[in-house]
Amino acid sequence: MSEFTKASIGFFPKGVPIPLGNLDLTLTLARSILGVIKGGPTDYIHGNTPRSLGEAPEGAAAIGISFPPMELSCTPGPTDSPTLREFTLSLTANEPVAYPISGLRLVLEIRRNDGDPIPPETLSWVRNGWQSWSHAGLVHGQRPAISVPRRAQFMFDMKEDPSVPVERAAYVSDMVTQVHIRDWSLLVGAIDQRYFQKIALYTAPEHLELHLDLELDECTLAAGETLELGGWRLESGKPESPLMERWGGRVGKRKSRQETVLGWCSWYERKTRITLPYLRSIVDIITRREELRDLELIQVDDGYQKAVGDWLLPNPRFRGRLKEAGELITSAGKEAGVWVSPFIAQKNSDLFRDHRDWFLHDGYHPVSAGWNPHWRSSFYPLDLTQPQVIEWLGDTFSTLRSWGFTFFKLDYLYGACWKILHKFGRKSRFQAFQEAIGVIRKAAGPESFLLGCGAPLAPSNGLFDAMRVSCDTEFQWKNPPLLRMLTGETETIGIYPAARNTLVRNPFARHMWLQDPDCLMVRRRNRRLSDNEVDLYSLLCMAVGEMVLIGDDLTRWAEEDFARFAQYRSQLSTGFRALDSLADDPPRLFSATQGGRPILGALNLSDAPNEITLPEELSRVGESPISAQTQSPGSPEGTRITLAPHSLTSWHADRFEENES
Ligand code: 9PG
């Protein structure tokens, strides 16, 4: 690694060899794009046309960049070993750099050192989407992770980093990936992250190429200025080794006020048609019923406010003020929670009308960050580099706090990172986001609980108590037929994609925040869900055991629903761990601790009965199925069990010893 310690720009194009386990890697600096680029900071949008997997971009590894005024330094990590390398980068300007720098690309060429080729069909890799709602999952070979027809791309825009067009996103993972190359795996993950970092995957006939992209958001540099760019961790090992888990442990900054939140959220069933009287009846049931007594949080979702953006003004439809809702909840001895999307405003809000210059714009017009059917309106992101905007944010949250709210579901947060058209352009999107969340945290009180939603994950690490790690479940399994047609079967909402995301993101998310898999449901009637599906998601939420929020209209619960909730509740667990989420698609196995006893769980997210062979070290479990309590159909037969489609079951596994190879 000696040649790797201090590299000038001129050095990188030669390629730095890094032997790592059974892989030979070569690292090359491939680009640093210049120029103000409309619509996004990288050549994803600008230069390169999107490519499908299977074709490495011509000359990508050979393009040298020479910026005489700048020097790139590369510092190896202290923990380097034959299977682990880390390095961090910094960029120093010797003279002022007045042209905007949009980013750096390192190209990592991967070959097996036994000389075997890496045929694309033998590959699988873990894709982690940009924000809470984006796809996370295992991708096989050349099958794209997501495949969105042009007609539906507008629905996916908000789920991808604006620097990556939707049609390219299928091959791009944000901040981390793990690539399985037959019997060997490589983890590539961002460390000390200060900018958005992403990884694009390409295959060539003999080797594999990963493009490690760092977005510098068109910054400029003063003479002598140094930018700390963060870096990368590369670790190789057997596919079953917990590489992702170790990366999570290395970078995660989890700090949560509490380990489990039990509560109720108003979003599902009533949507934006919630009212203060309805809330009163919910508070009444929660305080009256024994089964619900330990729900400590009552969270008001979208619908109380005059418009998205006008958080402190009442909506006449709500038939009350938010302040009254706060008083109602806290005087019942519960924690008051409220949904706010602080970085966006809808078109017909007072905020947008009165302060148009507070919003990101392209020089002529405000830039829309999406359209929402519930608001029947497009919405616009605020420019968080403007001092008045920051002041307004602080005032808004200290007012909400003074009304009794101490739990904040902060939604549509990606809006803060939407494009880079800030007025005061020195801040990166990443930094602007982190600073604005810091302002909210301060105004809301340091002991308040922040739940992120629709949030870019990388800059959120360490800033939130909890994080939504999936799309909405919307009380459905997958998209309804019309939406399936529109999206070409690419999932947008439902239990299936939400469960998959929760499992796939578990190994790293649990080092960063409590995982919120969205609301569970108990009621069986009026649903597009089977009983197994209702059980599966409730039991998964209880097994994950971190954010446990009921989405039902409790005024419509029958007696049997209270009893069923008590049954689910008895299975609340800690220490949830997805066991095969990075090796199997869809994932199937998890472990946790329930009432001090280890459990093993299996779920079948596929549409056919699934026979599951338990790994060798789990073969002794299963003597005491708790599935009978939950009406799950699985039953252990030695080491093999058959699970009905869309079902979950679990067993006490007192003798199960975790294999941490
Ligand atoms: C409130 C909801 C809930 C929910 C959030 C978020 O693109 N869309 O049309 C779209 C609709 C709803 C949505 C996200 C996107 O859900 O995840 O829990 O708080 O907002 O409006």
Has residue 632 got a pLDDT over 50? Answer: no
Flag the least confident range among 111-115, 489-493, 548-552.
111-115
Q: Distance, CA 497 to ligand 1 centroid (Å)?
A: 15
State the pLDDT confidence band at 622, using cuts at 50, 70 and 90.
very low
Looking at the DSSP bridge assignments, the partners of residue 467 are: 452, 515
- Mean pLDDT calculated for residue range 363-380: 91
d(CA 60, CA 171): 16
DSSP E strands in 311-372: the ranges are 335-340, 344-346, 370-372
d(CA 175, CA 199): 7
d(CA 129, CA 176): 10
- In this structure, are residues 629 and 639 in contact, taking their beta carbons and an 8 Å threshold? no
More confident residue, 345 or 624: 345
Q: Which atom of ligand 1 is nearest to the CA of 454?
A: 17
Best of 134, 155, 166, 267 for a ligand 1 pocket test (most atoms within 8 Å of beta carbon): 267
State the pLDDT confidence band at 248, using cuts at 50, 70 and 90.
very high
The pLDDT of residue 199: 94
Instruction: Encode 363-391: b = buried (16+ Cβ within 10 Å), e = exposed.
Output: eeebbbbbbbeebebebbbbbbbbeebbe
Q: Where are the alpha helices (DSSP H) in 445-547?
A: 457-460, 481-487, 495-504, 506-509, 531-544
Best of 131, 300, 451, 453 for a ligand 1 pocket test (most atoms within 8 Å of beta carbon): 453
End-to-end CA gap in the chain: 27
Question: Residues lining ligand 1, CB < 6 A?
Answer: 267, 301-302, 339, 372-374, 411, 453, 472
Which backbone phi and psi does 120 adopt, to 5 degrees?
A: -55, -35
Q: Distance, CA 382 to ligand 1 centroid (Å)?
A: 18
- Mean pLDDT calculated for residue range 184-208: 90
Q: Distance, CA 472 to ligand 1 centroid (Å)?
A: 7
Q: Distance, CA 303 to ligand 1 centroid (Å)?
A: 12
- Mean pLDDT calculated for residue range 218-237: 90
d(CA 647, CA 627): 10
Q: pTM for the whole thing? A: 0.92
Q: Provide the annotated active-site residues.
A: 411, 472
Alpha-carbon dihedral angle through residues 158, 159, 162, 168, given to the nearest 10 degrees: -130
Q: What digits encode the pLDDT tens for the residues 125-174?
A: 999 999 999 999 999 877 788 889 999 999 999 999 987 878 788 889 99
State the pLDDT confidence band at 42, using cuts at 50, 70 and 90.
very low
Has residue 282 got a pLDDT over 60? Answer: yes
Alpha-carbon dihedral angle through residues 621, 624, 627, 630, given to the nearest 10 degrees: -140
Looking at the DSSP bridge assignments, the partners of residue 103 are: 33, 215
* Protein residue with its CA nearest to atom 1 in ligand 1: 302
- In this structure, are residues 124 and 138 in contact, taking their beta carbons and an 8 Å threshold? yes
Q: What digits encode the pLDDT tens for the residues 536-547?
A: 999 999 999 999
* Total count of residues recorded for the chain: 661
Q: Distance, CA 454 to ligand 1 centroid (Å)?
A: 8
Best of 472, 475, 491, 547 for a ligand 1 pocket test (most atoms within 8 Å of beta carbon): 472
Q: Which atom of ligand 1 is nearest to the CA of 472?
A: 17
Q: What does 180-204 look like in DSSP terms, one character per residue?
A: EETTEEEEEEEES--S-EEEEEEE-
Highest mean pLDDT among 43-57, 135-149, 165-179, 510-524: 510-524
* Protein residue with its CA nearest to atom 3 in ligand 1: 267
More confident residue, 479 or 167: 479
* Protein residue with its CA nearest to atom 13 in ligand 1: 472
Q: Distance, CA 316 to ligand 1 centroid (Å)?
A: 21
* Protein residue with its CA nearest to atom 8 in ligand 1: 372
Q: Distance, CA 579 to ligand 1 centroid (Å)?
A: 30
d(CA 321, CA 202): 54
Residue 375 token pair: 């608001």
Taking phi over 0 as left and psi of -120 to 50 as alpha, with beta for the rest, 162 belongs to alpha
* Protein residue with its CA nearest to atom 7 in ligand 1: 372
Has residue 498 got a pLDDT over 50? Answer: yes
d(CA 630, CA 652): 14
Work out whether the CA dihedral 247, 249, 251, 256 comes out positive or negative. positive
Q: Which atom of ligand 1 is nearest to the CA of 518?
A: 18
Looking at the DSSP bridge assignments, the partners of residue 76 are: 87
- In this structure, are residues 261 and 297 in contact, taking their beta carbons and an 8 Å threshold? yes
Is the N-terminal amide bond of 100 cis, ω within 30° of 0?
Answer: no
Give the chain's radius of gyration (CA, Å).
25
- Which H or E run contains 103? strand 97-112
State the pLDDT confidence band at 14, using cuts at 50, 70 and 90.
low
* Protein residue with its CA nearest to atom 16 in ligand 1: 472
- In this structure, are residues 42 and 419 in contact, taking their beta carbons and an 8 Å threshold? no
The pLDDT of residue 34: 39
